[in-house]
Amino acid sequence: MNGPDAKFAWTATVGEKGQIVIPKQARELFGIRPGDTLLLLGDLDRGIAIPQKGTFAHLFDAAFDGKDGGDK
């Protein structure tokens, strides 16, 4: 379902093993391919978020390398 300002909403069913299938349109829009690793972030008040593919590489660099202006 398309929403305002390039916002989208999809549904996914959780299987018996706790797995979900990312809808085809979402995989195509965000370039998600078989074998990709995704980062899931959780907040008890706000829910679960899946940042864009590759975003977590930047976060790890900043946290562990200190190359992004962060403290070591």
pLDDT tens-digit map of 37-61 = 888 889 999 999 888 877 777 777 7
pTM of the predicted structure, to 2 decimals? 0.65
Within 13 A of 29's CA, how many CA atoms are on the CB side?
13
Q: Where are the domains of the chain?
A: 37-72
Compute the mean pLDDT over every residue in the chain, rounded to the nearest whole number. Answer: 83
Provide the CA 31 distance to its chain's centre, in angstroms.
11
